[in-house]
Copies of this chain bind each other. A is one copy, B any other.
Amino acid sequence: MMRESVEDRVLESLRPTQFQLAMLTRLYGLIQTRLSTCPAVAGVGGRVEAVGSFAKGTLLSDKWEIDVFLLLEGVDDAWIEERARSLLYTCLHGLPVISKYSQHPYVTLAMMGMEADIVPAKLVSDPSQARGVERTPFHTRWVKERINPRLADEVRLLKSFLKGIGVYGAETARGGFSGYLAEVLTIGYNGFRGVLEEASRWRPPVIIDPHGAGDPEALARRYRDSPLVIPDPVDPGRNVGAAVTMRSLATFILAARTYLEAPGEWYFHTHQPTLPPVSRAPAVGVCLEGPMYTKPPQDVEGRLARLSSFLATKLGEAGFRVLHHGFSWDGGSRAVAYVLVESLTLPEIEALRGPEAWASVERVSRFIEKRLREGGSVWPQHGLLHGFRPRRIRSALEALGRALGMAPLPWGARVSRAFTCPGPGCEGWCGREVERGSDPTPAWIRLAYTRGRPPS
């Protein structure tokens, strides 16, 4: 059958190789040995545990990464915060370790193209007592108990699908599905197709409990702003879908439906083509420079997402019709945030609606006096006062410039220039990235509706 052959073909490229698994296993063995024989760890009492997709057997072929937890007994949060890092440095002495921090201290060990995140955490015995990263070992154990080789392949398909349509990852900048959520869904609905079939019938807010873990309705009342509510099987008072935004959920529902209608390889991240923009919206962008690579990628991207959203809000307030906003980061010291607008220039005058003609004399007079003072016009029409005034800020670039003073930049970054596309400043790396973003149609949508043929 055509449908299965798409998934079979894709799976070939998603499964890690034996060599890859052997290499990562050796790396884990090295870390495990170092930590469990380390006198400093023995001093406080600790245990080493592999977590994440490597541990669960759901690893993708392009991930040469492992996650390792050092679970420490009899320490408190302050101890972790202040002393865990130096403990790890001592135990891993001589290995290429760099220190990181994202709500919690951890280190990354990078060697031979592989990376291991090593996270110190309190040993907690009851999952309902666990907070933040402390939940990860419980999630890993829950999945390991339920996974089998067939389901592991199904998880790989779902994760690759989520990546392909741009909604994989629970970090703020993405607002998508975490790996654990993908596993909970795949196990709950017995495979990739089962999840898509469920999702194709979803209508937000989606309140589900495939494992009968808790009281999803009560949970929905607590997570009132979440479009996706699903109790965490290891801690039913938590919502595993808390990070998923409406945009991500809507994208997933849409992609599930179109995929089931006509499957295609281009939904999966390993087969994602980069299409040239077909149509372009005008854009204003701001080019940033600075040592952003020294911060955890999640934090930099979260900040860039906030920046583009902030600029979009300000442009909207200035009267521009905002279509989309986004950012790009080269992982190093260059980033760009941009906003797509219907037009880079606003009309000379600005139409305004006033109060009803029979509103309080104060409100009516305020509207009339303002318009006349501004050199504008005002008149009754139907029941309302209408008016217009000369517009002060007509250029999107000027509006962006004014907003930049208050804008949240990533740490260490500074504005190198603001520009428009089209425009004389639309050049270099920043210009190219904005031009690429100026057609916001995702590649999978174009391909789904051209039956896999790239548009001419």
A interface list, Cβ under 8 A from B: 202-204, 227, 246-247, 249-251, 253-254, 257, 261, 278-279, 281-282, 321, 323-324, 342-343, 347-351, 356-358, 361, 364-365, 368-369, 371-372, 375-386, 388-390, 439-442, 445-446, 449-450, 455
CB distance A358 to B388 under 8 Å? no
CB distance A254 to B380 under 8 Å? yes
Q: A204-B358, A321-B351, A383-B246 are in contact. Are A449 and B368 (CB under 8 A)?
A: yes
Q: How far is the CB of A272 from chain B (nearest CB, A)?
A: 15
Q: What residues of chain B lie closer than 8 Å to A342, measured between beta carbons?
A: 347, 349-351, 388
CB distance B358 to A202 under 8 Å? yes
- 5 closest A-B pairs by CB: A343-B347, A250-B357, A254-B357, A379-B440, A377-B441
Q: How far is the CB of A325 from chain B (nearest CB, A)?
A: 10
CB distance A380 to B349 under 8 Å? no
CA distance A385 to B342 in the complex (A): 16
CB distance A372 to B449 under 8 Å? yes
Q: How far is the CB of A454 from chain B (nearest CB, A)?
A: 12
Contact of A377 among B254, B278, B343, B364 (CB under 8 A): B278
CB distance B379 to A351 under 8 Å? no
Contact of A376 among B253, B279, B379 (CB under 8 A): B279
9 A-B pairs besides A279-B375, A282-B348, A372-B455 with CB distance below 8 A are A247-B380, A247-B381, A247-B383, A250-B380, A250-B382, A278-B375, A278-B377, A279-B349, A377-B439
CA distance A303 to B49 in the complex (A): 85
CB distance B250 to A440 under 8 Å? no
Q: A368-B445, A372-B450 are in contact. Are A349 and B250 (CB under 8 A)?
A: no
Q: A247-B381, A377-B439, A377-B441 are in contact. Are A323 and B388 (CB under 8 A)?
A: yes
CA distance A123 to B261 in the complex (A): 77
Contact of A369 among B246, B361, B449 (CB under 8 A): B449
Q: How far is the CB of A391 from chain B (nearest CB, A)?
A: 9
Residue ID in chain B nearest A357 by CB atoms: B250
Give chain A's interface secondary structure class. Answer: mixed
Q: What residues of chain B lie closer than 8 Å to A250, measured between beta carbons?
A: 356-358, 380-384
Residue ID in chain B nearest A379 by CB atoms: B440
Q: How far is the CB of A203 from chain B (nearest CB, A)?
A: 5
Q: A279-B376, A349-B342, A377-B279 are in contact. Are A246 and B388 (CB under 8 A)?
A: no
A-B contact pairs, 15 of them (CB 8 A): A203-B358, A251-B380, A254-B364, A278-B375, A279-B349, A281-B377, A282-B348, A321-B351, A323-B388, A324-B381, A343-B348, A368-B449, A372-B455, A377-B441, A379-B445
CA distance A342 to B380 in the complex (A): 17
CA distance A204 to B384 in the complex (A): 12
Q: What residues of chain B lie closer than 8 Å to A365, measured between beta carbons?
A: 449
CB distance A349 to B281 under 8 Å? yes
CA distance A253 to B455 in the complex (A): 60
CA distance A282 to B347 in the complex (A): 10
Q: How far is the CB of A123 from chain B (nearest CB, A)?
A: 41
Q: What residues of chain B lie closer than 8 Å to A349, measured between beta carbons?
A: 279, 281-282, 342
Q: Which residue, of A323, A356, A361, has the highest number of chain B Cβ atoms within 10 A?
A: A323
CB distance B324 to A247 under 8 Å? no
Q: A358-B253, A388-B323 are in contact. Are A382 and B449 (CB under 8 A)?
A: no
Q: How far is the CB of A39 from chain B (nearest CB, A)?
A: 54
CA distance A358 to B256 in the complex (A): 10
Q: How far is the CB of A279 from chain B (nearest CB, A)?
A: 5
Q: How far is the CB of A285 from chain B (nearest CB, A)?
A: 17
CB distance A323 to B361 under 8 Å? no
Residue ID in chain B nearest A227 by CB atoms: B383
Q: What residues of chain B lie closer than 8 Å to A358, measured between beta carbons?
A: 202-204, 250, 253-254
Q: What residues of chain B lie closer than 8 Å to A279, measured between beta carbons?
A: 349, 375-377, 388-390
Q: A323-B351, A386-B323, A388-B342 are in contact. Are A251 and B357 (CB under 8 A)?
A: yes
Q: Which residue, of A279, A347, A439, has the highest number of chain B Cβ atoms within 10 A?
A: A279
CA distance A389 to B439 in the complex (A): 11
CB distance B440 to A377 under 8 Å? yes
Q: A357-B250, A377-B440 are in contact. Are A383 and B204 (CB under 8 A)?
A: yes
CA distance A309 to B450 in the complex (A): 43
